[in-house]
């Protein structure tokens, strides 16, 4: 293949590297009003009065909005396909504030200085109530986070708001309790993966204006432009046809920008004033007034026979969704959905989970989307089982993992179409030097090195729900326009989709112009989430390219006066098989577009899949632990990945390295923390620590390709799965080094030191 499988550089790479003005703020209209938000200082309170008179009298203040001035219609900010599973539990501004940082007043002024001065002159009085801060105490707490009667759901998600239960999930196949009785060995433990911040380089931002026809135009740093459009229509109570959302380049998202953090504020100010408006969250707001990964408690119980065959899995999950429930039911469901199928020799499995409201910043989508938390708990328990059985952790997995053509209990009879996970484990074991390093090596006075491992899976799009459309036009100059709603947030999907189109059309990528992320001009796409772009949008692009190629052949045959069966297309010319007649693509394009009765050639396709084929990773960590201090250094990390056919090896490698770095941060450094009154204590990079390049150590990526029959060119996803193995693999290595089994992430030197002294 000439394009697919090649490490072609990102088509926008040079523009980004040289600072071309392609981001939201760069494109904002210069005279746009500046928006600032006055936020709640209390975790849970009712507003009893707001005095904005002094602020409104300031010169340059254009608009001040309180809960009395905005539509009273509840909605969700979750960027998911309609009907959204998340509860409609928030207003633009509410009389009740539910976390420190919740919005109270929207201020728009001619500049930032005036807006901040106006904020200082607003007086708000509150009736402070007891907050729910400990998610393990949320169910049945005396305080109820959501008492409103107009909270609604599109369908039953197990909401019991009077008990602070946002959603519930239960799945059970077989008699779990009876199967445990038959097992020779049963192990169980409790795990606490923490809330984690996205820490993307570009903070949340959007600007808006009214076009010549009076339509609301919102330019936003978002992963989900079509979902933002729907949110705006509901929240602002205007027809969706009156809204256009444009996504420029995005400076990172990692799931955070799958939630609509800022777009509604610019939209309502522009509607109220008729003027352009701009909002840019500072880093503190990005940390404390958006979303994080869901903190969870997971109780896992495994049963196996003496040969190490896992027969029963029981997983009980409690998830902290914070003040609002966007993504609560789907993240919760994915904890089990992307872990239980890893081991398919089971006879009984059970998953029971609840997401609960608390008076903290909402949780939302984050790379891995529940699989990260579930993998940490399940894989840590499998490592514990291997130790109990005195088996090599790699061997117990090779005995139990799902293989091609097999099914698993929760899979509704769908057979696994592709997997090279067994090869991933074998190769990772070789690359890390498992045979001579496991479990540990003494290397000096107080230092010990050890290795650990974990495996994981994810999905590729959302089966039966996620769809994407693509359109490819042959222009009059012989070049092509690829129109897609897929959202490139630095991942390189514009490049990858162009590679696929170029491969089918047998043209160079330079002949393709990408137009993406505009709800007026792009065909529908749900956006960049659920690991869907390569698999779902990619297949739509392949189908659209095949459609266009067939039309080129038909038109070429017509112009040559022969049947379509007698012509071929090589990317530049349509010619007969005999070679006696031909027409260039440029001439064909001109004759097709120009003149009366002509019709431009356009390939179009929409694709959705009935399956979500899992990519896999086998992760191996080598750590060095200082027994005197508890300090952990990551020496080496090996990840061997099955993402089907690798469309662009360089971009896939970069995706993997980035995801592993986030997983390392979750394992060793990062934690969203709150003080005793519910205020976030980690709202700057001074308090919230992410790993530096030095902390990440050596990361090595290898691929074990499989061929997924339902994917474009045999491809599956890679974006999320790569974040999941570092927490359990690093935790396993630390235990092998010094015997400390720390189930509360992150695993800090203090925890390791104190753990060693408890042994």
- The count of other CB atoms within 10 Å of the CB of residue 533 is 30
pLDDT tens-digit readout, 266-309:
999 999 999 999 999 999 999 999 999 999 999 999 999 999 99
Residue with tokens 């042994």: 759
Closest CA to 515 of 221, 220, 248: 248
Look at residue 714 in the predicted model and tell me its pLDDT: 98
Look at residue 675 in the predicted model and tell me its pLDDT: 97
Structure tokens at 651: 């971009």
Buried b or exposed e, range 627-636, using 16+ CB within 10 angstroms: beebebebeb
E strands, 123-204, are 123-128, 165-173, 185-191
Half-sphere exposure of 212 (CA within 13 A, CB side): 0
Q: What residues contact 1, with CB distance under 8 A and at least 6 apart?
A: 503, 713
Query: What does the domain layout of the chain look like in residue ranges?
Result: 13-129+198-288, 135-196+292-390, 417-460+613-759, 467-608
Give the pLDDT band of residue 412 (cuts 50, 70, 90): confident
Look at residue 597 in the predicted model and tell me its pLDDT: 63
Task: Inform me whether the pLDDT recorded for 595 exceeds 80.
Answer: no
- CA pair distance 246, 489, nearest whole angstrom: 13
Q: Which CATH number applies to 13-129+198-288? A: 3.90.1170.50
- CA pair distance 303, 312, nearest whole angstrom: 5
- The count of other CB atoms within 10 Å of the CB of residue 74 is 19
Look at residue 598 in the predicted model and tell me its pLDDT: 76
pLDDT tens-digit readout, 470-501:
999 999 999 999 999 999 988 899 999 999 99
CATH class of 467-608: alpha beta
What's the per-residue H, E or C state across 516-556? Answer: ECECCCCCCCCCCCCCCHHHHHHHHHHHHHHHHHHHHHHHH
Look at residue 445 in the predicted model and tell me its pLDDT: 84
Look at residue 596 in the predicted model and tell me its pLDDT: 63
Look at residue 22 in the predicted model and tell me its pLDDT: 85
E strands, 193-261, are 205-210, 216-220, 243-246
DSSP letter for 598, please.
Answer: -
Q: What is the mean pLDDT of residues 742-749?
A: 98
Q: Which CATH number applies to 135-196+292-390? A: 3.30.365.10
CATH architecture group of domain 417-460+613-759 = 2-Layer Sandwich (3.30)
CB 172 within 8 A of CB 278: no
Range with the poorest average pLDDT among 374-378, 594-598, 721-725:
594-598
Q: Is 692 exposed, middle or buried (0-12, 13-18, 19+ CB in 10 A)?
A: exposed
Q: What is the mean pLDDT of residues 392-418?
A: 94
CB 486 within 8 A of CB 493: yes
Q: What residues contact 686, with CB distance under 8 A and at least 6 apart?
A: none
Q: How many helices (H) and strands (E) does the chain have?
A: 20, 27
The reply to whether 417-460+613-759 and 467-608 are identical in fold is yes
- CA pair distance 735, 420, nearest whole angstrom: 28
Q: Which stretch of DSSP H or E encloses residue 515?
A: strand 512-516
DSSP letter for 75, please.
Answer: B
pLDDT tens-digit readout, 239-251:
999 999 999 999 9
CB 151 within 8 A of CB 89: yes
- CA pair distance 24, 123, nearest whole angstrom: 33
Buried b or exposed e, range 549-571, using 16+ CB within 10 angstroms: bebbbebbbebbebeeeebebee
- DSSP β-ladder status, 567-569 and 573-576: antiparallel
Phi, psi of 442 (to 5 degrees): -80, 130
Report how far apart, in Å, the C-alpha atoms of 707 and of each of 643, 645, 656 are. 9, 6, 19
Mean pLDDT over the full length of the chain: 96
Q: What residues contact 181, with CB distance under 8 A and at least 6 apart?
A: none
Share of the chain above pLDDT 70, in %: 100
- CA pair distance 434, 448, nearest whole angstrom: 15
Look at residue 522 in the predicted model and tell me its pLDDT: 96
Q: What is the mean pLDDT of residues 24-37?
A: 95
- CA pair distance 393, 396, nearest whole angstrom: 5
pLDDT tens-digit readout, 678-721:
999 999 999 999 999 999 989 999 999 999 999 999 999 999 99
Buried b or exposed e, range 673-685, using 16+ CB within 10 angstroms: ebeeebbbebbee
CB 146 within 8 A of CB 152: no
- CA pair distance 93, 83, nearest whole angstrom: 23
Q: What residues contact 573, with CB distance under 8 A and at least 6 apart?
A: 582, 583, 584, 585
- CA pair distance 606, 523, nearest whole angstrom: 9
E strands, 323-446, are 348-357, 440-442
pLDDT tens-digit readout, 576-586:
999 999 999 99
Phi, psi of 678 (to 5 degrees): 90, 10
- CA pair distance 417, 425, nearest whole angstrom: 19
Give the pLDDT band of residue 446 (cuts 50, 70, 90): very high
What sign has the CA pseudo-torsion 9, 14, 20, 26? Answer: positive
- CA pair distance 513, 26, nearest whole angstrom: 22
Q: Which stretch of DSSP H or E encloses residue 267?
A: helix 263-273
Q: What residues contact 168, with CB distance under 8 A and at least 6 apart?
A: 157, 158, 159, 160, 353, 354, 355
- DSSP β-ladder status, 310-322 and 348-357: parallel
- CA pair distance 364, 360, nearest whole angstrom: 12
Alpha-helical runs (H) found in 390-518: 393-400, 421-432, 434-437, 493-505
Task: Inform me whether the pLDDT recorded for 643 exceeds 70.
Answer: yes
Q: What is the mean pLDDT of residues 167-187?
A: 97
Q: Which stretch of DSSP H or E encloses residue 312?
A: strand 310-322
- DSSP β-ladder status, 632-642 and 698-703: parallel
Task: Inform me whether the pLDDT recorded for 19 exceeds 90.
Answer: no
Q: What is the mean pLDDT of residues 341-362?
A: 97
- CA pair distance 495, 486, nearest whole angstrom: 11
Range with the poorest average pLDDT among 9-13, 505-509, 618-622:
9-13
Residue with tokens 């990062």: 670
Q: What is the mean pLDDT of residues 313-335?
A: 98
């Amino acid at each position: 293949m000439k394009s697919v499988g090649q490490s072609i550089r990102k088509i926008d790479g040079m523009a980004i590297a040289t600072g071309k003005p392609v981001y939201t703020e760069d494109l904002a209209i210069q005279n746009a009003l500046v928006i600032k938000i006055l936020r709640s200082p209390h975790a849970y309170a009712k507003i009893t009065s707001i005095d904005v008179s002094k602020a409104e009298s300031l010169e340059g203040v254009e608009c001040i909005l309180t809960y009395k001035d905005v539509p009273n219609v509840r909605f969700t900010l979750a960027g998911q396909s309609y009907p959204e599973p998340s509860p409609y539990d928030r207003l633009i501004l509410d009389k009740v504030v539910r976390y420190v940082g919740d919005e109270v007043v929207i201020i728009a002024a001619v500049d930032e200085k005036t807006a901040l001065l106006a904020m200082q002159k607003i007086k708000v009085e509150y009736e402070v109530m007891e907050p729910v801060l400990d998610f393990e105490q949320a169910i049945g707490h005396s305080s109820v986070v959501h008492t409103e009667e107009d909270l609604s759901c599109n369908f039953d998600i197990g909401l019991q708001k009077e008990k602070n239960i946002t959603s519930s999930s239960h799945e059970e196949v077989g008699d779990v309790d009876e199967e445990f009785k038959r097992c020779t060995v049963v192990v169980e433990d409790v795990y606490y993966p923490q809330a984690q911040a996205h820490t993307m380089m570009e903070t949340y931002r959007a600007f808006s204006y009214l076009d010549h026809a009076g339509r609301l135009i919102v330019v936003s740093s978002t992963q989900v432009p079509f979902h933002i459009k729907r949110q705006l229509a509901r929240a602002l109570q205007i027809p969706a046809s009156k809204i256009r959302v444009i996504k420029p380049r995005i400076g990172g998202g990692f799931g955070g920008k799958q939630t609509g953090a800022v777009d509604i504020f610019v939209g309502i100010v522009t509607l109220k004033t008729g003027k352009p408006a701009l909002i840019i969250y500072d880093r503190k707001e990005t940390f404390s007034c958006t979303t994080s990964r869901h903190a969870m408690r997971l109780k896992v119980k495994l049963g196996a026979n003496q040969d190490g065959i896992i027969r029963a899995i029981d997983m009980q999950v409690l998830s902290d969704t914070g003040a609002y429930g966007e993504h609560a039911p789907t993240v919760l469901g994915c904890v089990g959905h992307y872990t239980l199928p890893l081991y398919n020799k089971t006879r009984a499995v059970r998953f029971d989970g609840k997401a609960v409201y608390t008076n903290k910043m909402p949780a939302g989508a984050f790379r891995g989307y529940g699989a990260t938390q579930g993998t940490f708990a399940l894989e840590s328990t499998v490592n514990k089982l291997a130790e109990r059985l005195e088996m090599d952790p790699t061997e117990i997995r090779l005995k139990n993992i799902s293989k091609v053509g097999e099914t698993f209990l929760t899979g509704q009879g769908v057979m696994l179409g592709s997997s090279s996970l067994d090869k991933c484990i074998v190769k990772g074991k070789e690359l890390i030097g498992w045979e001579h390093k496991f479990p540990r090596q003494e290397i000096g006075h107080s230092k010990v090195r050890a290795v650990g491992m974990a495996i994981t899976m994810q999905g590729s799009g959302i089966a039966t729900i996620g769809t994407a459309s693509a359109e490819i036009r042959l222009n009059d100059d012989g070049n092509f326009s690829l129109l897609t709603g897929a959202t490139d947030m630095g991942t390189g999907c514009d490049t990858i989709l162009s590679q696929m189109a170029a491969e089918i059309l047998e043209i160079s990528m330079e002949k393709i112009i990408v137009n993406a992320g505009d709800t007026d001009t792009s065909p529908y796409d749900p956006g960049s989430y659920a690991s869907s772009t390569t698999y779902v949008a990619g297949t739509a692009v392949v189908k659209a390219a095949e459609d266009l190629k067939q039309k080129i052949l038909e038109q070429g045959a017509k112009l040559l006066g022969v049947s379509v069966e007698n012509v071929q297309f090589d990317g530049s010319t349509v010619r007969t098989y005999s070679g006696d007649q031909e027409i260039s693509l440029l001439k064909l394009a001109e004759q097709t577009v120009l003149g009366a009765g002509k019709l431009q050639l356009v390939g179009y396709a929409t694709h959705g899949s009935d399956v979500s084929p899992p990519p896999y990773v086998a992760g191996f960590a080598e750590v060095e632990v200082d027994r005197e201090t508890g300090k952990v250094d990551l020496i080496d990390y090996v990840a061997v990945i099955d993402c089907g056919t690798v469309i662009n090896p360089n971009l896939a490698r970069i995706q993997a390295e980035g995801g592993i770095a986030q997983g390392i941060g979750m394992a060793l450094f990062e934690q969203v923390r709150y003080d005793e009154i519910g205020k976030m204590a980690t709202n700057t990079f001074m308090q919230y620590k992410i790993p530096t390049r030095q902390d990440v150590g050596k990361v090595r990526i290898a691929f074990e390709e499989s061929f997924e029959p339902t994917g474009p060119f045999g491809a599956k996803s890679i974006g999320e799965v790569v974040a999941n193995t570092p927490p359990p693999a690093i935790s396993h290595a630390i235990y092998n080094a010094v015997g400390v089994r720390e189930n509360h992430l992150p695993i800090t030197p203090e925890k390791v030191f104190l753990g060693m002294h408890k042994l």
